[in-house]
Amino acid sequence: MDNLSDTLKKLKITAIDRTEDSLEGCLDCLLQALAQNNTETSEKIEASGILQLFASLLTPQSSCTAKIANVIAEVAKNEFMRIPCVDAGLISPLVQLLNSKDQEVLLQTGRALGNICYDSHEGRSAVDQAGGAQIVIDRLRSLCSRTDPASEKLLTVFCGMLMNYSNENDSLQAQLINMGVIPTLVTLLGIHCHNAALTEMCLVAFGNLAELESSKEQFASTNIAEELVRLFKKQVEHDKREMIFEVLAPLAENDAIKLQLVEAGLVECLLEIVQEKVNSDKEDDIAELKTASDLMVLLLLGDESMQKLFEGGKGNVFQRVLSWIPSNNHQLQLAGALAIANFARNDGNCIHMVDNGIVEKLMDLLDRHVEDGNVTVQHAALSALRNLAIPVVNKAKMLSAGVTETVLKFLKSEMPPVQFKLLGTLRMLIDAQEAAEQLGKNVKLVERLVEWCEAKDHAGVMGESNRLLSALIRHSKSKDVIKAIVQSGGIKHLVTMATSEHVIMQNEALVALALIAALELGTAEKDLESAKLVQILHRLLADERSAPEIKYNSMVLTCALMGSESLHKEVQDLAFLDVVSKLRSHENKSVAQQASLTEQRLTVES
């Protein structure tokens, strides 16, 4: 260290005299000291004030420039040295050196700037202001096609510098994207895929940039899908594959890229991994199986990519995914059920799948998960059944297959995601009067629905419970169903539903309440009173924002309530006639006609 102090003193004198031989000797001593103890040497360099001198020595003409840049690169490995490097004014001369033709100068300059930028806001800011990023991208473009070892090393350093410059900084990443870095990096990957270090650098850069929404369009305009799939096929090591997966996952969120990945053959690679790893209990293999099957499900979220893989229900991929459902591996069961839910996104696919026995496979899977089952598998299988139940022609087939019986086994579930899908599946299935009547007389179901109508922490479950209650009445038109719902305390929830912010739910509630008033007014009278239905109807009719169909159904319901003495009195006391007579001139013809009919009814009854 005494030698180091002497070297630093000598360096100061030499720097002023500009005697290059002595300068080179001093720099060699410094690099040697940094190699032995970087931290301590860096502290001494900072204390000596030599950094400020370096700024004036960093000139393209000097034969020592590469070594000075190397010293800066070494000291900037220490976090505490990055701000001093910026404060010493080193960034601007370093950025100017990026225009050098000397390969060693470029290499050391790239290292220096990359290390100064690492996790340093001040370093990045200074490089940004000096315009360093654009120069580096231009250099990458000009060197891109050179495959000699020295050029590849330089390309790796420049990629690393851009990564350190923009890592976890959205605005700098957006700047690089606007400068067109993505097509450049994709071209690099294609040409240099044999070079492990450079490939790795490109992948990390892609991983960072792919998180940004604005990058997806640029990625989609390149051949990134082909390059990544080609690279993926070559990899045997888990870590390398994982690195590619980390790029594929955010990219596959984009529908155009999903299709490109499917066309590039990614699905075949994923199916191969699943086959290889399915019986392994190694941690890495289990993780890779999960990643591959999750990515497979993600690819099916795109309409075009999904339809391409469905191939009219005869595709190899579709058949392989089907075989996951009866497997004993929970991850594959989950991915299989989610894949079916994704395939079931149009009527044609749904009808084909129901006709080909998918429902039975999903019911078997659910049966395996009734007692202490896997919640994610339950949720996924119910999602698939719900989607399959959407086409009208499938409903009767699914009912006769016993889907409602299987689904009702999960009534005791305390998991809101499972409750939500269970409710949605039942609601999709009960368009038929017979099914609605059968379910509506199921006291356990109705009681559970009324309980879930109060699940204020889970708006989805609450909304679906209300909608199913209403649907049971609307589709069954059954007095017994209405009595079951009244006895379970469901009326107040239907009245509250009539005030929902969603017009469709308001409407469903009003139609159900009108049926209750028409079929079982005596049974429901007290509950309708205590739920303040009449006041709510008055408010809906008086409110200019109410949709035409809400006004129409509110008047139909008001007329139906006239059969009850107490409710009739409430209608009279609230001066409904005033509100209704105004609606006779409503722009909607149906509303105007119903207003005239309602006015006549109210006048006769008063």
Quick: pLDDT tens for 209-265.
Answer: 998 988 999 999 999 999 999 999 998 888 889 999 999 999 999 999 999 999 999
Please say if the pLDDT value at position 275 is more than 60.
yes
DSSP letter (8 states) at residue 313:
G
Asked if 179 and 214 count as a contact pair (C-beta separation under 8 A), the reply is no
Confidence bin at 19 (pLDDT 50/70/90): low
AA letter at 116: I
- Tens digits of residue pLDDT in 414-463: 999 999 999 999 999 998 888 999 999 999 999 999 999 998 899 999 99
Element (H, E) at 231: helix 224-234
Alpha-helix residue ranges (DSSP H) falling in 37-78: 38-48, 50-57, 65-75
Confidence bin at 606 (pLDDT 50/70/90): low
**C-alpha angle 563/565/569, rounded to 5°?**
115
283 exposed, middle or buried (CB, 10 Å; 0-12, 13-18, 19+)? Answer: exposed
Confidence bin at 364 (pLDDT 50/70/90): very high
Domain residue limits, the chain: 432-531
- Tens digits of residue pLDDT in 464-499: 999 999 999 999 999 999 999 999 999 999 999 999
Site of tokens 């850069």? 205
Q: pTM of the full predicted structure?
A: 0.84
Alpha-helix residue ranges (DSSP H) falling in 531-575: 533-542, 548-560, 565-573
Asked if 41 and 4 count as a contact pair (C-beta separation under 8 A), the reply is yes
Alpha-helix residue ranges (DSSP H) falling in 49-147: 50-57, 65-75, 82-87, 91-97, 103-117, 121-129, 132-143
**C-alpha angle 495/499/501, rounded to 5°?**
145
Confidence bin at 62 (pLDDT 50/70/90): confident
Three-state SS for 30-48 is HHHHHHHCHHHHHHHHHHH
